Amino acid sequence: MQFDLLIKGGDVVDPGGGNDGRLDVAVKRNRIAAVDTNIPTESAAQVIDASGQYVTPGLVDLHTHIFYGIGYYGVHADTVAARSGVTTWLDVGSSGGYNFPGFREYIVTPAQARIYALINISSIGLTTRSGELRNLDYCDIDLCCKMINLNRDIALGVKARIDQGQTGGTTVPLTYAREAADRCELPLMVHIGGGPPGILEVLKHMKPNDILTHCFTGGDMRIIDDSGKLRDEAKQAWDSGVVMDIGHGAGSFSFETAEALMSVGHKPDVISSDIHQNSIGGPMFDMPTCLSKFMALGMSFGEVIQASTEKPAQVMGLGDEIGTLKPGALADVALFRIESGDFTFYDVRMSPRKGTELVRNTLTIVNGREMPVVTEKPPAPWFEMSDGQRQLIERNHTPDAFDPKSGG
């Protein structure tokens, strides 16, 4: 037999590999071996019938928090991966210089899914809910760089949460993060939300290939002005190569901001989940739900797949290995169905928008092996459901229980 696995009869959507249409995908060991029409079933030891489904590269989530059991935010990567199609996770700042060794040993090493990280400029990482940058003694540039240099196979940059809650209103921690990223010659991801500081103070510290996450926030650090127009400084940063990343989360994605920007052609570079203890219970839920929201806003399925596979893989410097089905790439594959109906989606302020399509993952494959769907880990003892999340449950709006006839 020529192949170990054959995914047959699906509609391939692979912007990074240039594959599109009714194609078969063959896997040998842990690599994509072929993408072609009518690959014989007898050429493979195992055949998956993908008829009526979309076959895409495994999703690459550029903003996650998966330091499960250690720190405030983390969820368990593999259990979510198996039901969502995310095969590569970039944990952004859950760990810092003091606890990154534990992140590597207890999260990265045993995981089936692929895990990379940005190291928090705060040495304590996200041990607590907020305020990790208020004590500048924790902003240890030397330690951050040392930890990156010891772990360059998985440490891909630096993360800093810059808003009033984390810094007390100052941009001083951002200057520390900027220096660490420059010294290591790696990108910097900056979180924005509610100021002070203002968005313009943040943008002046950012360089090409850096990532502005929560780029469609509704907070007062948003990149649009009061009239809904993209700020000139934000446009300059975007045009220069700063990556605009969604990072939906529990407090960061606004339909109003998204509509203002997308109505004039400013689509996000990357769609990411910012999955964590507070967002996984809704209205974010998971990556397929995030993709469905942007389809409701007018993006095609091909566009949302590109923004969640090819583009984040490029940002991570891994475009030849992940986020694509081109032969030779790692055999990370996701299968999806798109359900038609009358769906209601919500942003973080529980503002509703109607949609007619819901993306559902049916199978996740990492390194050529199917991930089994298992019971998810329990929420952290300190997690308390919000009123909005309770409303979603009452309305049957969970990732596994959308009622297309309910209309919300």
pLDDT band at 103 (very low <50, low <70, confident <90, very high): very high
Domain ranges of the chain: 3-56+330-337+358-394, 58-315
- Per residue in 8-20, pLDDT (tens digit) is 999 999 999 999 9
Give the tens place of pLDDT for each residue, 336-345.
999 999 999 9
CATH topology of domain 58-315: TIM Barrel (3.20.20)
How far is the C-alpha of 102 from the C-alpha of 106, rounded, in Å? 6
Percent of all residues in the chain with a pLDDT value above 70, rounded to a whole number: 96
Query: In whole angstroms, what is the distance from residue 110 CA to residue 370 CA?
Result: 16
Measured CA distances, 119 to 113, 206, 351 (Å): 19, 17, 33
Mean pLDDT for the chain overall: 95
For residues 137-152, average pLDDT: 98
Q: What is the pLDDT of residue 390?
A: 78
Q: Would you say residue 400 has pLDDT above 60? A: no
215 residue type, one letter: C
Q: What's this model's pTM, rounded to 2 decimal places?
A: 0.96
Confidence of residue 389 (pLDDT cuts 50, 70, 90): confident
Res. 392: pLDDT tops 80:
no
**pLDDT confidence of residue 403:** 39
In this structure, the number of other CB atoms found within 10 A of the CB of residue 267 comes to 16
What value does the mean pLDDT take over residues 204-228? 97
Q: Cα angle at 209 between 208 and 210, to 5 degrees?
A: 90
Q: Regarding beta strands 54-57 and 59-64, do their DSSP bridges make them parallel or antiparallel, or are they unpaired?
A: unpaired
Distance between CA atoms of 253 and 134, rounded to whole angstroms?
25
- In this prediction, residue 4 carries a pLDDT of 98
Q: What is the pLDDT of residue 395?
A: 67
For the stretch 321-373, pLDDT in tens is 999 999 999 999 999 999 999 999 999 999 999 999 999 999 999 999 999 99
277 confidence band (pLDDT: 50, 70, 90): very high
CA distance 320 to 311: 12
Per DSSP, the residues of 250-308 read TTT--HHHHHHHHTTT---SB----B-TTTTTTTS--HHHHHHHHHHTT--HHHHHHTT
User: Which pLDDT score is estimated for 247?
Assistant: 98
Counting Cα atoms < 13 Å in the Cβ hemisphere of 252 gives 27
What is the average pLDDT across 114-122? 98
Q: Which of 365, 364, 354 is nearest to 402 (CA)?
A: 354
Per-residue model confidence (pLDDT) at position 402: 41
pLDDT at 372: 95
Beta bridge partners of 250: none
Q: Are 317 and 336 in contact (CB under 8 A)?
A: no
Residue 295: pLDDT over 90: yes
Q: Which CATH class is domain 3-56+330-337+358-394?
A: mainly beta
Quote the tokens at residue 282.
Answer: 């809704």
Residue 353: strand pairing partners: 345
Average pLDDT over residues 55-67: 98
Asked whether the domain spanning 58-315 has the same topology as the one spanning 3-56+330-337+358-394, the reply is: no
pLDDT higher than threshold 50 for residue 268:
yes
DSSP label of 139: B
Give residue-wise pLDDT tens across range 155-191.
Answer: 999 999 999 999 999 999 999 999 999 999 999 999 9
β-strands 114-120, 155-161 pairing: parallel
Pairing type for strands 54-57 and 44-49 reads: unpaired
Q: Say whether pLDDT at 399 is over 70.
A: no
